[in-house]
Amino acid sequence: MLAISVKRPADIYRMLKSASGATPAAGATIEGMDDLKSGAPRPAAPPRRIGRGVFLATVAGGLSALWWGKAAWSSVSGTISPVAEAVLPIPSKGWRIYTIASTMPVFDPATWRLKIGGMVDQPQEMSYDQLRALPQESQVSDFHCVTGWTVNGVRWRGVRFKDLLAAAGPQSGAHALELVSAEVPYIDYLTLGQAMLPDAMLAWEMDGGPLPQEHGAPVRVVIPEMYGYKNVKWLAEINLVREPGVGFWEQPENGSYDKDAWVGRSNGYTS
C-alpha cells in the first residue's frame, strides 16, 4: 500500500514553487481543463521528470482543480505506484473524491451487514433493510474538506446515532466509537459526545437518492461540524471503545491530522 505524507497547504505551495520542472496547480485555467477533457491538441513540451514528493503532495493536498483526462494521467502513471491513482481527487459536482485503496468497496444489498460491537450489552448485525427501518431523519448541511474546499447545501437522510446504538446498549465504560470502513485499512474515531451532536448521522441517502458508491455506499458517517476525513465512508463496523484511538489520517505516516477536526477550530494538522 502507498504511504502518503500529507503536508500543510503552505508547505505544499513552497514545495511546488521551488521544485524543478513542477507547475503550480494555481496555473490551471478553465480553458486548460476543457482541452484535457476534449482531447484538443496541445503544444509539444520537452519531457519532464515529476518528483514523487511533489506529485503526491499535490494529490494528497487537494490543491489541484484539474480534471485529469486519460492522456494526462497516462503521462505520469509510469512514475508512481498504481495505488496512487486511487487517491487522485476527481472533481464531481463540486466534490473531490479521495480513496486510499486501489478499488472502491462494492455494495451488495443481499449480503451487506453493519456490525455494532465492542463495549455493548447486545452486539448487533443489521441488514440494509433493517437499518433503514430505524427512525429516519433528514437534514441539509455543508461539507468541508480539510484541504480547503466546501460543498454547500448537501441533502442527507439517515439515522441518528442515538437511535442506531439503542438496541446494542452501550456500556457505561464506553466513551467513543471506532468507525471501521470497508475500505481497508481506513478507520477513525468519534467520542460519544461528538456522535450525539444533533446534526451527526449515519446516512444512506444523498441529494434525494441512494448514496453513490464514490460517496460511501451504502452508508457513511455525516458530521458537518468536522472536516471530511471524520465522515467515514463505506462504513462496515462500529465498535464501542473506552476512548478514541488514532484514525488513518491522524497517524504520523499519513499526515498527523488533528483527532478533533472541528471546522474553523482545527487546522487539520498538529502544529
Domain match, 13 and 140 both: no
Radius of gyration of the chain measured on its C-alpha atoms = 20
Per residue in 133-170, pLDDT (tens digit) is: 999 999 999 999 999 999 999 999 999 999 999 999 99
Are residue 64 and residue 189 in the same domain, yes or no? no
Q: Mean pLDDT, to the nearest integer, of 70-81?
A: 32
- Give the pLDDT score at 267: 63
Domain enclosing residue 238, as ranges: 114-254
- Mean pLDDT, residues 106-125: 98
Pairing state between β 114-118 and 95-97:
unpaired
Which of 89-93, 114-118, 243-247 bottoms out in mean pLDDT, i.e. has the lowest? 89-93
d(CA 257, CA 87): 17
Residue bearing cell 439517515? 158
Alpha-helical regions (H) of 19-135: 30-38, 52-61, 70-77, 128-132
User: pLDDT averaged over the chain?
Assistant: 76
Co-location of 172 and 64 in the same domain:
no
Contact 84, 78 (CB under 8 A): no
User: What are 207-235's pLDDT values in tens digits?
Assistant: 999 999 999 999 999 999 999 999 999 99
In a domain, 99, yes or no: no
Q: Give tens-digit pLDDT for 33-47.
A: 333 333 444 444 444
Q: Check if the beta carbon of residue 62 is closer than 8 Å to that of residue 7.
A: no
> What is the pTM assigned to this prediction?
0.69
122 and 220 part of one domain: yes
Say yes or no: 199 and 70 in one domain: no
Q: Cα–Cα distance between 55 and 66 in angstroms, integer?
A: 13
pLDDT in tens, 96-108: 999 999 999 999 9
Q: How far apart are CA 204 and CA 222, in angstroms?
A: 10
Residues 170 and 233 grouped into a single domain: yes
Q: Is 231 left (phi over 0), alpha (psi -120 to 50) or beta?
A: beta
Using the predicted structure, report yes or no on whether residue 31 has a pLDDT greater than 50: no
Contact 16, 58 (CB under 8 A): yes
Coil/strand/helix, residue 159: strand
The band of 253, judged by pLDDT with boundaries at 50, 70 and 90, is: very high
Shared domain check, 249 and 152: yes
Cell of 14: 513552497
What's the structural domain count of the chain?
2
Return the closest-CA partner of residue 189 out of 101, 261, 110, 116.
261
Residues 14 and 57 in one domain: yes
C-alpha cell at 199: 446534526
Domain with 241 in it: what CATH number? 3.90.420.10
Whether 74 has a pLDDT exceeding 60, the answer reads: no
Q: Each residue of 166-199: pLDDT tens digit?
A: 999 999 999 999 999 999 999 999 999 999 999 9
